[in-house]
Amino acid sequence: MNVEANVLLSRFTTIGTGGPAAAFARPETVEELQEALVFAGERGLPVAVVGLGSNVLVADDGFAGLVLKLAGDLANVGVRQELLVAGGGAANAVALHRARAAGLGGFEFACAIPGTAGGGVRMNAGAYGGDWAGIIERALIVDADGARWLVRDELGLHYRRSGLRPGEVVAEVEFRLTPRPAEEIKRLVADLQAQRKAAQPTNKRTYGSVFKNPDHELTAGRMLESCSLRGYRIGGAQISPRHANFIENADGARSDDAVALMAEARRRAWDQYGVELEHEVVFLGDLELPPLVT
């Protein structure tokens, strides 16, 4: 397997920011994946996976480790009776297409989530009342020591998080779906996509929700909106004028601009509501939010 040096990660993130990965590989099989993990272990390199990069913010000076992008068999999708079987690197859009062609429903909510099957496990991705935890049967988890199947309850899935540890990679996911006519799936997806388009900046470069919804009557978006943050800009990054829990790459943004916006948003939510917002986006590399002055 080919390991490349200094691959620019801005190419692999939906926000389009981020510096280089010290090492980068595209394993295509479980064996190659394990080989890559052993390679990193022997050199003491931290490992990260990028799916479609739709919920990561990579430091401008990059990631001093090995970044993996699953490809080949590890990005395939198939159907076995009522199971949708997706490689960890398979795009949700492709998986949804296969499910619809096979007349299997239950994955429609994922039409709003521009990621992969594996990234969805890591984040317990969800939308419109559905999430990965609701449909996963089991997932194949690979680390430097080998591969093992974990059933849903062993994956530690909670609101936008899982129990996966660094260095554990989701190589394959089985989703249990239910028979549903393709036409019905199509209608449902069109309806969800229209709802999404009406509420969020779907035609901008973002990394999805910046913060998790707090335990509060207001969502993170509504809270930040009431802190007058819509349209607020630092450098090339801007809080979306449409939805205050999104940061857009307005013009040549750097990750540092996005972090500065996040710090300001957290400060205002704290000052105005006494709420400590927790970021949903995953940081890769040397990135940190300043502590709140309490």
Residues forming contacts to ligand FAD in the complex (CB under 6 A) are 14, 48-56, 70, 88, 112-116, 118-120, 122-123, 125-127, 164, 169-170, 206-208, 282
Min separation Cβ 113 and ligand FAD, Å: 5
Nearest Cα residue to 140 out of 121, 124, 112: 121
Q: Which of 28, 32, 248, 280 is catalytic?
A: 280
Min separation Cβ 208 and ligand FAD, Å: 2
Residues in the chain, overall count: 294
Q: Which of 82, 160, 242, 278 is catalytic?
A: 160
Min separation Cβ 226 and ligand FAD, Å: 22
Kindly state the tokens that stand for 118. 């594996």
Q: Is 280 a catalytic residue?
A: yes
Min separation Cβ 70 and ligand FAD, Å: 6
Nearest Cα residue to 146 out of 167, 173, 120, 122: 167
Q: Which is nearer to ligand FAD, 181 or 231 (CB)?
A: 231
CA 259 to mean position of chain CA atoms: 17
Q: Which is nearer to ligand FAD, 198 or 293 (CB)?
A: 198
Burial status of residue 156 (CB atoms within 10 A of its CB: 0-12, 13-18, 19 or more): middle
Q: Which residue of this chain has its Cβ atom nearest to ligand FAD in the complex?
A: 51
Q: Is 228 a catalytic residue?
A: no
Q: Which is nearer to ligand FAD, 11 or 179 (CB)?
A: 11
Q: Which is nearer to ligand FAD, 151 or 292 (CB)?
A: 151
Min separation Cβ 154 and ligand FAD, Å: 15
Q: Is 226 a catalytic residue?
A: no
Residue 253's region, left for phi above 0, alpha for psi from -120 to 50, else beta, is beta
CA 178 to mean position of chain CA atoms: 25
Q: Which is nearer to ligand FAD, 207 or 232 (CB)?
A: 207
Q: What is the DSSP string of 50-96?
A: -SS-TTEEE-TT-EEEEEE---GGGG-EEEETTEEEEETT-BHHHHH
Distances (CA, A) of 67 to 62, 114, 119, 156: 11, 20, 14, 24
Q: Which of 209, 240, 254, 268 is catalytic?
A: 209
Catalytic residues: 160, 209, 280
